[in-house]
Structure 1
Amino acid sequence: MQYSNIINPDHLPERIDNVLDQTLADKRLVGAVIKVALDGKIIYSRAAGFASRELNQPMREDTLFRLASVSKPITSAAALVLVAQGRLKLTDRVDRWLPEFQPRLKNGEPAVVTIRHLMTHTAGLTYRFFQEDHGSYEQAGVSDGMDQSSITLEENLRRIASAPLLYTPGTMWRYSIATDVLGAVIASVTETTLSEAIHSLVTQPLGMSDTGFVAADPQRLTTAYADDIPGLRPLSNPDSLAFVEGTAGFRLAPDRALDPAAYPSGGAGMVGSAGDFMQLLETLRKGGAPLLPETLVREMTTNQIGDLPMPFWPGRGFGLGITVLKDPIAADTAESPGTWRMGGTYGHSWFVDPKQRLSVVAFTNTALEGMSGPFTVDLCNAVYGRLGKS
C-alpha cells in the first residue's frame, strides 16, 4: 500500500481519467460528472459518458441528477441556518413543530424525539428499503421519498409515526427517513413549503440555481440506469432495485424528478448539478459564510454519536446529517480523519477532507455502482494517489 499524505495535483487529473475511462469501458457506469477542488480551486472537472445512452446524448458538466440522499446535507444545512437564526434549537422536541408526530416504542410507550435525534439519525426511525419484505413501514404504506407516491408529506409523516420506533431515541444509530421528518419541521418553522424554505435558506444565497425538488431544466436531466444486469439498463418508471440481501430493496420512480406534485422529500427528493453541490461543500469547508457560523459547521462535521456502531460504515461516526471519518484503518481509506462523506442511491458519492482542503463530487447516472460500487473506492484512491488498492 502506497499513498501520499500530500495530494499531488499535477498527476491527479491523469489518475482520475484512468479510473473513469476504465469504469465506463467496463460498462459499470453510463455517465458521470466529477469535480475536485483543492485549496478552493477547481483542479479537475470532467463530464464523461452519456447522459442518455439511448438518445446518444453526451454527459455535460451542467447535467441535472436525481440527488437521492445527496439531498440530506442540503436539508440539514437549511435546518442549521434556522438554528443560527435562533428560530430552531437542536434540543427542541419534534412535536413542538409537528404536534401530530408522536411515534411510540414497540411496547406502546411514548418517546421523546428531538431535532438532534433527527439530524444524527438516532431517532428510532428506519427506511422501508432497509426492512424485510412486508416490514412495518411497508405495512404502514411509508414512502422512502424516491417512489412515485401520490401522498402528501403530512400523510407520509402520519404513516411513519404510526409504525413503532426501532429503539429508544438516542440509544442506537440507524440511517433513516429522519431527514424527511426534519424537512417537515423546516416547513413548519418557516411557515412555508419545504421547497420555498430551502430556496430562501440555502440555494438562493449560494447561487445554486440548478437545485430544487423538480428539475430546473428537464432537457438537462439525465436518464437513470441500474447495474443489476450486464451492460446496464435504463430504469423504468416505476422500478425496483435490490439492496442488501434480506432487505426489501429500493422502489424508484425516475419521473418523480419531473413531478411538481410529488411531496418534497428532504432526505431523497432533490434534483441538482455537480457544480451546485460543490458550491455547498466548499462553503461549508471554508467555514460556512454566508450561510452558517463556523461553530455550527464544526458541530455539523464532528462526530455526534460517540461510539455507537454504524452498520455499513466501519470506522466512521456521524455529525449533523453526514458521516465523519474516525478511523481510516478501520474504513480502509486514504482519507484523513475528520473527512465527511455520503452518497446517493441513483449513483453518487462525495467527500470533503478538511485537513487536505479537498472537496470531491462524483455524480453518476448509474445505481448502485456510483454510490457503493468499486468505482467509489477506485476514485478515492486515484485522488490520493493510493497505488495498488481497489
Structure 2
Amino acid sequence: MTLPGVTRAVDRAVADRHIAGAVVLVARDGQLVHEQAAGMADVESQTPMAPTTVFRLASVTKPVIAVTVMHLVEQGTLDLTTPITHWLQGFRPALADGSVPEITVDQLLTHTAGLAYRMGEPPGSDYDRLEVSDGLDRTDLTLADNLERISRTTLRAVPGTEYRYSVAYDVLGALIEAATGATLPRAVQDIVCVPLQLASFAFSIGERTPIATAYSDGLIPITDEPIPNDTNVVRYAPERIFDASQWPSGGAGAAAHAHDVLRFFNAVALGGAPILRSSTVAEMYAGRIGRQLTPTLRDSFGRGWAIASPDTGPLYGLPVGSVHWGGAYGHTWSIDPATRTVIVALTNTSPEGTAGAFPSDVARATHVDLAAGEID
C-alpha cells in the first residue's frame, strides 16, 4: 500500500542524491497506508534500505522520554510543578546574577528551563569550557557526570520565560532514573517498549545489527570529526550506539527501526493507550510557550514537540495543529491530531533529511494524496 505522491517525492530525493536512503511510513487511524524503503542504507557496500533497517534516532528519542515522564506524572511518581530538586538535590544551576531559581518538570519538557545545547552556544561558552555532552558524542562521562557539568552552567533565562532548545531531556533522563530507581534504558523499556512491543528501540545495539550508515549532505559519511553549524559545532560519534558503556542520552541516544517508531507515534495519535490517558495526550498537544523562529514565523512548543502554526504549517507541508519534530541524523515525524495521521520519515542524510526540502515534500505529498483518496 503506497501513496503515489509520497513515492515520487522519496524516489526523486534519492535519484538526485539529496539523501542516501530512507524509510517512510504513513498511517491514518492506526492503519498503515504507505510503506517505502528507498535508496541505500550503506552506499559503499550498496546495501539497500529495508523496512527493518535501524536508525540512530537522535532527537526522535525526545518524545519517547516525554511520554515516559508523563506516564510517571499520571502515576504520581513525578509532578509537573514540583521543583526537580525534590528528586535531583544537587541540580541547582544559577542565573548570571548568582540567584538560583527553581526548575520544574514542565519547564524541562517545554525547553523553558533556561538551559542550552553546547552545539547551539558560541565557541568558548561555559558549555564548551565544562565540556558538556550533547548526547551525540562519545565520552568517558556517566549520566551523573554530565548532569553535574550541566548544573555548573549559567542559565540563559529565568525558567518558564523563554523557549531554548537544550539538554533538558538529558536532565529528564536523570530525573526518570532518580524517580524510579531504575536506569533510564530499563525505565523506558518497562514503561514504553514492553507495552508497545518496541523490540528494536534501545540506547545501545549489537555491532551486527543492520543500521543505516550516517551521511552528511553530499553523501559524505559522518565521522567523529566535529561538523560546524551556525553557532559552534555538532560533535557526532556514529559508533556511540554500539558502545554500551556510553551514558544513555534522553535527548539523542536511542536507536530503532521505522516500524517501531511508527508504532510509538500511533499509540500517541490514537489516544495514548496503554501508556497514557487521552486527556494527558491532549495536554501534551497544547502549545505551552511561543517560539519566534524568524521575524515573520512564529509557532509554539508543547510537552515534547512543536505545534504547526498558520505561519509554519504551510512551510512544513503540515496541517495547522500538527505536532512534529526531527532528529539530527536526518529524520522527521508528525502527527495530525485532527485526522490521526502519522508520518515517520527516517533518512540517513543530514541535514537534508531533517531541515531540507525532503521532509516538507514528503509531508505535503502525504496530505495531498490522502485528501484526494489516492492510495495504491
- TM-score interval (norm. to shorter): over 0.9
**Aligned ranges 1:166-185 → 2 under 5 Å:** 166-185=156-175
Task: Find the aligned partners of 2:36 and 2:61 in 1 and give their Cα distance.
Answer: 22
Query: 2:264 maps to what in 1?
Result: 280
Question: Please, which of 188, 202, 220 is the counterpart of residue 233 of structure 1?
Answer: 220
Query: 1:348 maps to what in 2?
Result: 331
CA contact (8 A) 2:115 2:164 kept: yes
Helix, strand or coil at the partner of 1:239: coil
Is residue 288 of structure 2 the alignment partner of residue 298 of structure 1?
A: no
Displacement of 1:239 after TM fit?
2.4
Query: 1:202 maps to what in 2?
Result: 192
Query: 2:56 maps to what in 1?
Result: 66
CA contact (8 A) 2:173 2:250 kept: yes
Query: 2:249 maps to what in 1?
Result: 265
CA contact (8 A) 2:215 2:221 kept: yes
Task: Find the aligned partners of 1:188 and 1:312 in 2 and give their Cα distance.
Answer: 40
Task: Find the aligned partners of 2:285 and 2:207 in 1 and give their Cα distance.
Answer: 32
Which amino acid in structure 1 is aligned with residue 220 of structure 2?
A: R
Question: Please, which of 301, 309, 316 is the counterpart of residue 318 of structure 1?
Answer: 301
CA contact (8 A) 1:310 1:317 kept: no
Displacement of 1:311 after TM fit?
6.1
CA contact (8 A) 1:316 1:331 kept: no
Is residue 206 of structure 2 the alignment partner of residue 223 of structure 1?
A: no
**Aligned ranges 1:94-133 → 2 under 5 Å:** 94-133=84-123
Displacement of 1:336 after TM fit?
2.1
Helix, strand or coil at the partner of 2:235: strand
Q: Deviations over 1:321-341 (max 9, x none)?
A: 111123256753442222000
Helix, strand or coil at the partner of 1:151: coil
Q: 1:140 to 1:312 in 2, by over 3 A?
A: farther
Task: Find the aligned partners of 1:53 and 1:252 in 2 and give their Cα distance.
Answer: 19
Q: 1:376 to 1:329 in 2, by over 3 A?
A: closer
Which amino acid in structure 2 is aligned with residue 289 of structure 1?
A: A
Q: Deviations over 1:246-282 (max 9, x none)?
A: x112110000010100000000001111111111111
Q: Deviations over 1:185-241 (max 9, x none)?
A: 0011110100100000111110001001012673311111111xxx421112x1222
Q: 1:193 to 1:155 in 2, by over 3 A?
A: same
CA contact (8 A) 2:109 2:304 kept: yes
Task: Find the aligned partners of 1:216 and 1:328 in 2 and give their Cα distance.
Answer: 43
Displacement of 1:308 after TM fit?
4.9
Which amino acid in structure 1 is aligned with residue 201 of structure 2?
A: T
Runs (5+) with no aligned partner, structure 2: 370-376
Query: 1:249 maps to what in 2?
Result: 233
CA contact (8 A) 1:64 1:215 kept: no
Helix, strand or coil at the partner of 2:344: strand
CA contact (8 A) 2:321 2:336 kept: yes
Helix, strand or coil at the partner of 2:365: helix
Question: Please, which of 67, 79, 90 is the counterpart of residue 69 of structure 2?
Answer: 79
Task: Find the aligned partners of 2:119 and 2:33 in 1 and give their Cα distance.
Answer: 37
CA contact (8 A) 1:243 1:249 kept: yes
Which amino acid in structure 2 is aligned with residue 258 of structure 1?
A: F
Runs (5+) with no aligned partner, structure 1: 1-9
Query: 1:6 maps to what in 2?
Result: none
Which amino acid in structure 2 is aligned with residue 174 of structure 1?
A: R
Question: Once superposed, which parts of structure 1, at least 4 consecutive aligned residues long, lie more than 4 Å away?
Answer: 310-313, 328-331
Helix, strand or coil at the partner of 2:209: helix
- RMSD, aligned α-carbons: 1.7
Query: 1:7 maps to what in 2?
Result: none
Query: 1:149 maps to what in 2?
Result: 139
Task: Find the aligned partners of 1:34 and 1:330 in 2 and give their Cα distance.
Answer: 20
Task: Find the aligned partners of 2:294 and 2:146 in 1 and give their Cα distance.
Answer: 26
Which amino acid in structure 1 is aligned with residue 341 of structure 2?
A: L
Task: Find the aligned partners of 1:218 and 1:210 in 2 and give their Cα distance.
Answer: 13
Aligned length: 369
TM-score under structure 2 length normalisation: 0.94
Task: Find the aligned partners of 1:73 and 1:113 in 2 and give their Cα distance.
Answer: 20
CA contact (8 A) 2:297 2:311 kept: no
Task: Find the aligned partners of 2:106 and 2:197 in 1 and give their Cα distance.
Answer: 28
Q: Deviations over 1:78-97 (max 9, x none)?
A: 11110111111101211111
Is residue 362 of structure 2 the alignment partner of residue 379 of structure 1?
A: yes
Task: Find the aligned partners of 2:205 and 2:5 in 1 and give their Cα distance.
Answer: 32
TM-score under structure 1 length normalisation: 0.91
Which amino acid in structure 2 is aligned with residue 284 of structure 1?
A: V
Q: 1:313 to 1:72 in 2, by over 3 A?
A: farther
Task: Find the aligned partners of 1:152 and 1:29 in 2 and give their Cα distance.
Answer: 34
Query: 1:88 maps to what in 2?
Result: 78
Q: 1:313 to 1:239 in 2, by over 3 A?
A: farther
Task: Find the aligned partners of 2:333 and 2:115 in 1 and give their Cα distance.
Answer: 24
Task: Find the aligned partners of 1:265 and 1:313 in 2 and give their Cα distance.
Answer: 34
Q: 1:383 to 1:315 in 2, by over 3 A?
A: farther
